[in-house]
Structure 1
């Protein structure tokens, strides 16, 4: 039956690409969760553990149960469901086991624990292929049904999911992705202090990839267990850190909810798989009729011949003390009742996902809220310490230069930019879980806090977007890159893009908000969710292909690749729709394919982070010189200057200072340019150069075309003594490109003469004059 699953053995190791700790493990199958599949009226179960070891073909069991009805003689039906197929289904007579100790069912606490070797005549080893011990997140469960021998009435029903110990959810993967996130964060902090580098902008791309990978498991679809487990590796990026039912934070959230009108269930102490809807993986039940076992009589296979165990009587028993033990049993049990009409059933999407990481459904938003609050507190504390450090360094500096004054002036813009980056990173989880909290209607305080958080994050994003669009409309898009105050504050929104494509980030933000709306308000219809989200992802991809907004071709290729990844993975998720009723094994294969595609995207972003960190500088100089600047494989083309064709167009530094674009033709310089001009004003035939001794300023050259714009910094000899330090009331540090005249930067080619000599000028339409 596993022959189709065996084809997946070549792709399973790819899921462990980030895990360096893969050790050998005994091949075994064991119970991972236990639930009642019928009301526990006759048999009470406190513990039910069963494990099969392939090495010696033995079974270990640990059972703790008790009966509350006297004189109950039952037969046991055992059904094994593996990937939606009934692999085993037989009935035995319990009176033939344990020397008749279970017939009738004992009215006391029965505890048995032992390891029993299975006889070779059963052929269990041949019936279970080796792939069953290797494939992660095995979708199999065993159901034990006890039926009255005389009437056939169902007395008890217990379901136990089986596991082989392997899972696509690995702690090593969480640590590896978290380490990559920290590396990108530190790289972004370092490069945000300079005028070069794309690391501050790639930080959002990396975290959005993590968050999108996690959100793909939020839809109302019948995911395979292996993909659902894989998606939980990125839960930390959504602010959902793994917790337990006894976590102090989760207990505090529970108390808060219950005190403010919340009545939803808290997180369970056991596995969330036990509460999954039986129509979904790993149960894959066709209908609610599978909750009850067949009520047919004893099968033709005799109990004596099937369970001919040589040491069956070595099981350990606890003799009855009193009937009071039975009543204490009911309160001590951890096994929960899950039927088709139970209120604690976890439906597909957000409920299963958040409970899989130990967080109750109603606690999801509050967990994200507390994480956002802690992140904001850390950011404000770090910025405050840095600002105090800048002030103290300026006061105690022995050199009274302009550096500390400039940093003190620029620091508010630096702080606003990082607050904007944090809001961009938190935009996805805040919108998803805020809107989802509104659909729960659980606690009025949670709803109030969700409104406040949503307004804070969205408002901090909308206001800079409004200022940016208004500035571009009233002036020109080029002004966005020359007004340094605006650029240093709101640059994370548009500095990554070309001048005419400053609005390219808006479609992505609209797409994130649209997907959050579909996840939250269309949670009962997975078909609507996946189809509309696929359309949204296709729209984002189309905008990238049409606009090509980035300043470099390499950046456009990277953004397009990530968009294609989202489109392909979303399209493959159509196979998870319940209405298609696709078999479990194809769904497992599709889930593994999606996980591999996402893993490759994470690896690509890992290398991109290393490139943005400056890894190319570690290469030998001869290797860096071997690639031409116009080559598409050149790292400088990929992350810093012009596109792959060598044209830079209206290229700007990421943090705002316009670059001097490379001229399309070489401009010959006259060797006599350093010649001193006549000092007599009468010998001057034009008025393009003016010098005033009273003002101490000079204008060199005529108005240059935009492609000849120089680094817009004010020369030292063109400022008066009163302007030697930057004014805190000035609107920018740099002169705008729209000014009628620009002063040339200080250069050895243009030395100022005390004899009031006229300086050479650059003609707008030609080279330097002779």
Structure 2
């Protein structure tokens, strides 16, 4: 077991080793203005400093509106803390065109600058920290008057980052294999285990998507946070494939759109990737809004924001697209295509697996009892899987479709956005409504929502993706979950120009989700509740950190920088813990002869209604109950049809069933709720057949059921009242349905 836990830990840590072996450098790719009416700006700026040879390579195209002799006041900040302050005369270092400054456009050919003396002032740790949060700010002051005529700043990077391909692949493969494992375990008949694995896998996937949403907000994130959340953008379908990008560009152009070309201009124009501002207040947001106001309308319509000096500015969703090397006008089609591929490949995989199972049984490679439920009802299982795919892709499609509404990349893409957004929203809304109606019918007829939700295999296979992770009495919780995802996605997509609004909304949404999860505890058992409440707590902490990054209260820069590092370590460690937990629990399933035994019996007693092979062997009473509930007795054929909107859910049918329940037992056979002429039309609602003994002879002294299982409602009737002639008399005396038990009914 120790080696099993140690292996994924070492693999996870090994993913971060690439950033410690490269040659030490410091580089910057954009020179940004940091004051109003700056007399110096650069549309292109590339600077690479190599400490090994003490030189800096500079390539710059600048626009100058001041003239005369100037001096540079240079300040270097690391994590918001000023570490170097120095004045430099451009004439002393022979900067071409800057001694003296002259009005006009200055195109300086690439040149090398000897800065060997300054190299010793840079601490060695600056070359090793991944995603270094460092900024060089330069105030241009007139030599004679000391007046500041310009301010520019450059974000400095050392080339080390936690945005790694290995992390992307590792997290994606683990989440995907866990979902696949839950399907295989369910097909093998271990429904309880499959439900736990699927619930954990979906929760982990949702946690990855929550972190990806942080990166999609327009809040200016510290570099290490922006890089970490970029690792998980695959969960939103943001995956760069070169030939796909060419196809998307062609499709947009051919459908009346105008693709952006930001990557084609990188050699001549710099791109400013917004990060937090060093200034007190929200200056960076103001600069961003001014950039939007000054940008040509055509460029804004194409998804790019270009300032008056020619630089491109990317923030929020555009920042994620740029870091993923995807044109912002191709982002919607990228996410949509991968969602469709996800659904199509899953469908093909299910069909191929069905064909293989039939072929393997025919060739006697596999026993006829393997995956029998899947083979007999694989189309219903496929429908349920497709519904689950829609649920997984709901956050992704909500954000991308709503984002497309604001961008209008082409008329055809707008049509696709409308179709997929409202289509998936209507599908999941209808599915949630269907589950609630089915559960209410089960409560009406059996006084327990678990009866129909778990005894009818067609209902369980098709709609179970919405409620199987919850306890039976919390079947409704899928509705607030969908509302949570929808509202959160709307703020991400539609509030890109209001970063503070996004941060405040995230806090409100996440605290509501945390309170609901902690108070209601809607998941199936204590372990699953703890797993999901922990995720909700971390999501709330992330929302608080996101608000700190807005710096609306003017916190010291060092505080914001430290919070960014804390967020990275918190989420990296927590993700590792969740991944190890999921790997261990999933792996052990395939090495245990009875994996369902390791999970506590759920209080809603759903296993009594399902075709479980483990939990129905401890008590003879539950054997009889489950057999009758499932219709395993000869001559019993359940006619429940809850798959379509037909007579089974109509108001007339509900009234007839209620009327049948009100008929006196004297009008029918003993223990029956129906009159004799209805006995053949409807299956018995009571799971007990009075004609069959519940206790075989000689079994009066058997041991008590396990303590962790809720006591059978028949125990007292048959142990304390042996003079009761039948279960019908026991029921008449207690006036309670035997199914009225479990969480929320005891």
What is the TM-score of this pair, normalised by structure 2?
Answer: 0.70
The equivalent of 1:34 in structure 2 is: 30
Asked if 1:345 is matched to 2:313, the reply is yes
Q: Give the length in aligned residue pairs.
A: 629
Given candidates 580, 602, 608, the residue that maps to 2:575 is 602
CA–CA separation in structure 2 for the residues paired with 1:405 and 1:15: 38
* Match of residue 248, structure 1, among 237, 243, 247: 243
Matched, 1:257 2:268: no
Residue 625 of structure 2 is aligned to residue 709 of structure 1: yes
Match of 2:200? 202
Matches within 5 A, 1:510-589: 510-589=483-562
Q: Is the 8 A contact 1:394 1:405 kept in 2?
A: no
The separation in 2 between residues aligned to 1:587 and 1:15, in whole angstroms, is 31
| Counterpart check, 1:362 vs 2:329 | yes
3-state secondary structure, aligned to 2:231 = helix
Distance (whole Å) between structure 2 residues aligned to residue 337 and residue 769 of structure 1: 83
SS in 1 for 2:183: helix
Residue 26 of structure 2 aligns to a residue whose secondary structure is strand
| Contact in 2 for aligned 1:33/1:273 (Cα 8 Å) | no
CA distance in 2, matches of 1:230, 1:283: 24
Distance in 2 of aligned mates of 1:45 and 1:436: 28
Contact 1:16–1:168 (8 Å) recurs in 2: no
Cα drift, residue 460 of structure 1: 3.0
Q: Of 392, 398, 402, which residue of structure 2 is paired with 1:431?
A: 398
Kept after mapping to 2: 8 A contact 1:497/1:549? yes
2:440 maps to 1:473: yes
After superposition, the C-alpha distances for 1:82-131 in whole angstroms (9 at most, x for unaligned) are: 24566445342438739999899999997565584724xx6x52x33333
Counterparts of 1:411 and 1:356 in 2: how far apart (Å)? Answer: 41
Match of 2:87 in 1: 90
Asked if the contact 2:596–2:614 (Cα under 8 Å) also holds between the matched residues in 1, the reply is no
Change (3 A) 1:719 1:261: same
Match of 1:741 in 2: 689
**Alignment match, 2:600:** 641
Per-residue Cα deviation, 1:578-630 (whole angstroms, up to 9, x for no partner): 422333321121112122222233123213312431427759x9xx9xxxxxx
Contact 1:141 1:283 survives alignment (8 Å): no
CA deviation map 1:344-369 (0-9, x unaligned): 3223x222222221223332221110
The residue aligned with 1:301 is none
Cα distance in 1 between the residues matched to 2:370 and 2:590: 27
C-alpha distance in 2, partners of 1:173/1:400? 39
> Helix, strand or coil for the counterpart of 2:217?
coil
1:61 corresponds in structure 2 to: 57
Kindly provide the CA deviation profile for residues 196-227 of structure 1, in whole angstroms up to 9, marking residues without a partner as x: 21222322111111111110222232321211
**1:129 paired residue number:** 123
> How far off its partner does 1:748 sit?
10
Change (3 A) 1:250 1:583: farther
Deviation at 1:406, TM superposition (A): 5.3
- Partner of 1:228, secondary structure, is helix
- SS of the aligned residue for 2:219 comes to coil
CA contact (8 A) 1:37 1:337 kept: no
Change (3 A) 1:590 1:503: same
**Counterpart selection for 1:652 from 591, 604, 607:** 607
Deviation at 1:455, TM superposition (A): 3.0
Q: Which moved more, 1:282-291 or 1:362-371?
A: 282-291
Separation in structure 2 between the aligned mates of residue 406 and residue 42 of structure 1, nearest angstrom: 72
Deviations 1:387-429 (A, max 9, x none): 3345555666699968787544311121112112211211111
- 1:765 aligned to 717, 733, 743, which one? 717
- Tell me if the contact between 1:537 and 1:567 (Cα under 8 Å) persists in the aligned partners: yes
SS at match of 1:252: helix
Q: Which of residues 226, 229, 232 is equivalent to 1:231? A: 229
CA distance in 2, matches of 1:532, 1:99: 49
Cα RMSD (Å): 5.2
Q: Deviations over 1:439-490 (max 9, x none)?
A: 2233222111011112332233223222211111123212211111111211
- Report the CA distance between 1:251 and its aligned residue: 3.0
Shift of the 63–534 alpha-carbon distance from structure 1 to 2, 3 Å rule, reads closer
Distance 2:320 2:62 in 1: 34
Map of 1:445 onto structure 2: 412
Indicate how the Cα distance of structure 1 residues 582 and 36 shifts in structure 2: closer, same or farther if over 3 A, else same.
closer
Residue 5 of structure 2 is matched in structure 1 by: none
CA distance in structure 2 between the aligned counterparts of 1:289 and 1:421, rounded to whole angstroms: 39
Paired residues of 1:184 and 1:203 also in contact (CA < 8 A): yes
The structure-2 alpha-carbon separation of the partners of 1:144 and 1:603, relative to structure 1 and needing over 3 Å to count, comes to closer
**For 1:449 and 1:540, how far apart are their aligned partners in 2?**
31
Aligned counterparts of 1:503 and 1:569: Cα–Cα separation in 2: 27
| Paired position in structure 2 for 1:411 | 378
The equivalent residue for 1:677 is none
Question: What SS does structure 1 have at the residue aligned with 2:72?
Answer: strand
What is the CA–CA distance in structure 2 between the aligned matches of 1:527 and 1:285, rounded to whole Å?
A: 12
Matched residues in 2 for 1:431 and 1:658: separation? 40
Larger mean CA deviation between 387-396 and 579-588 belongs to 387-396
- Tell me how far apart the structure 2 counterparts of residues 743 and 731 of structure 1 sit (CA, whole Å): 29
Contact 2:16 2:162 in 1 (8 A): no
Pairwise CA distance, 1:49: 3.4
For 1:363 and 1:654, the matched residues in 2 are separated by: 49
Determine if the alignment matches structure 1 residue 463 to structure 2 residue 430. yes
Match of 1:679 in 2: none
The DSSP-based 3-state class of the residue aligned with 2:229 is: helix
Contact 2:41 2:152 in 1 (8 A): no
Structure 1 or 2: more helix by fraction: 2
Give me the whole-angstrom Cα distance separating, in 2, the residues matched to 1:155 and 1:421. 59
Q: 2:49 aligns with which of 48, 51, 59?
A: 51
CA distance in 1, matches of 2:609, 2:407: 43
Say which SS state the counterpart of residue 432 (structure 2) adopts.
helix
Encode CA deviations 1:11-58: one digit per residue, 9 max, x unaligned.
xx99984625357447744223135759999999977433141x57x2
Distance 2:218 2:406 in 1: 15
Tell me how far 1:230 sits from its aligned partner: 1.1
> In structure 2, what is the Cα distance between the partners aligned to 1:529 and 1:256?
32
1:537-575 Cα offsets, whole Å, 9 max, x none, are 222222222322233211111111111111222122221
Give, in angstroms, the shift of residue 341 of structure 1.
7.6
1:233 to partner: Cα distance? 0.9
8 A Cα contact 2:548 2:560, kept in partner? yes
TM-score normalised by length of structure 1: 0.68
Deviations 1:58-78 (A, max 9, x none): 224255879999xx9976736
